[in-house]
Amino acid sequence: MSQPSFVRRHLKAAVLCAAMAVAGITTAQAQTINAVMHAPLRALDPVISTAYILRNYGYMVYDTLLAQDASNAIQPQMASWKVSPDGKTYTFTLRDGLKWHDGTPVTAADCVASLQRWSKADKLGQLMASMLTEMKTTGDKSFDMTFNVPTDIALRALSKPSGVAPFMMQASAAAAPIGQPITSTIGSGPFKFNAAEYKPGVQAVFDKYTDYVPRSEPASGLAGGKVVKVDRVKWITMPDAMTAVTALMGGEVDFIEQTPHDLLPMLEGNADYTLSVYKKQGSQNLARLNFTQPPFDNLKIRQAALLALGQKPLLDAQVGNAKMYSTCAAVFGCGSTYASDTGKDKIIEAQPDKAKALLKEAGYDNTPIVLLHATDLINLSPMGPVFAQQLRNGGFNVQMLSMDWATVTARRASKAAPSAGGWNVFSTTNVLPDVADPLGFIGVAAGGDSAWFGWPNVPAIEEARGKMARTSDPAEAKKLAEEIQRQVIDQVVMIPMGEFTNVTSKRKVIGNQLDAAAPVFWNMTKSGK
């Protein structure tokens, strides 16, 4: 089958671009995996942000106390646990052989300090901390967590696979305030960070940690033995997608974490490459409104924005191939345990006429809506113009500001007026493991200043989340999740905008990638150059 015309038009130019892009890359050794990740690595604190590139970095360098296997079952990782008869106290015991990358042993005091810092940054961690009466070491390798009611929230929190995952770090690093990035890159994970070869935003290099002692169980999801089978992994930044694909075809890179859907025809049907879809790495699109600034401090105007937005036009622009996306009303993911059709009549199809009518009723005065548009991430770049046009169709005056993702993440943290460096709306994606858990999903937490950017304050949601943390009844949990979704849609805490699959492309020399909630490089093999 011949290549599509758009591929043929750009291939020749892309070859030249790729050659220029990889000119500075040293010749890969037999056991070095050269990978193009979805975003450049510019920060080195895996707890300071929900950015997925930091999560990916965290899994390279750090380790977690617990982990979820391929069946989502919670398994020991760094530690095992016992529960008191009353269900309130959890005792965690570190396994033998755990060492930091500087050779010192991992201690319970390190873990307590790490959890104290992490719980200030993560929404599930905050909920856990609100139920915690005491956390103390009981020995060099053990510590207790005691809660005010019987609960399994410790297991759910310490095995959280994505978003802000609970990575363990040295107590000296964990002493840094949560708003202050750590400076240490010493972890206890399967790879060591190579600081000498780090070029922020350009490349990051990870060397096999030869003193890492993996678990004896087979690797499964993020659990089991983290056995490193290559010497090095090098993350190479290539902002231009065509350049990255062409570099893969030329053998200069081995792995592309997220391959643009429109470039897949270049690789499909070629035995030299493997295209993989990992269900746990699928993503949900969402829109987020700023509750603290006009006009979205007005409920009716937020509801008008919800009515103005439709899922299919966005997904068509972002993905194109209908086989690789889904539309649904579910806040917690299409087909998930807590999937629901509540609000379906409001959120799947755009309803611009109803949006205009609601704006008129609310007295909208044509205040400009500042929309933050990330241009350098393949999944986010197509979203901004579609969102802007849909909001305009619904009667909004939209000012779209285009910038790189790093600038978006900095600006969305501002509570200033939009005209003074703040914002009104941004769009992003979350992987499905983050979305599926009503307790851990940052998009539904609604505790005002303690909530995610946008800072919604909806006490009914927080009350339902608190009840869900305390119940062990699946039927009651599903009922509470339904109530959370109803409140999320009614108050417009977030707007679900459909789901899509991500495609990882690899040269055939790369094998044994795990189907996990994050792209991890342990267990992965490379044969030849």
pLDDT at 14: 44
Residues of the chain with pLDDT under 70: 1-30
- Confirm whether 68 is domain-assigned: yes
**Max alpha carbon distance in the chain (Å)?**
68
Q: What is the mean pLDDT of the chain?
A: 92
Instruction: Mark whether 317 and 451 lie in a shared domain.
Output: yes
pLDDT digits (tens, 9 = 90+) for 332-351: 999 899 999 999 999 999 99
CA 331 vs CA 12, 281, 335, 382: distances in Å: 43, 17, 11, 22
- Confirm whether 381 is domain-assigned: yes
pLDDT at 260: 87
Contact 193, 135 (CB under 8 A): no
456: left (phi over 0), alpha (psi -120 to 50) or beta: beta
In angstroms and rounded to an integer, the radius of gyration of the C-alpha atoms of the chain is 23
pLDDT digits (tens, 9 = 90+) for 272-318: 999 999 877 789 999 999 999 999 999 999 999 999 999 999 999 99
pLDDT at 349: 96
Q: At what angle do helices 299-308 and 383-393 cross, to 10 degrees?
A: 110
Instruction: Mark whether 324 and 452 lie in a shared domain.
Output: yes
Structural domain span for residue 119: 62-188
- Confirm whether 34 is domain-assigned: no
Domain boundary among 188, 220, 252: 188
pTM for the model stands at 0.85
- Confirm whether 240 is domain-assigned: no
pLDDT digits (tens, 9 = 90+) for 100-153: 999 999 999 999 999 999 999 998 999 999 999 999 999 999 999 999 999 999
Domain boundary among 135, 159, 188: 188
pLDDT at 17: 43
Tokens of 248: 């893969």
pLDDT at 7: 40
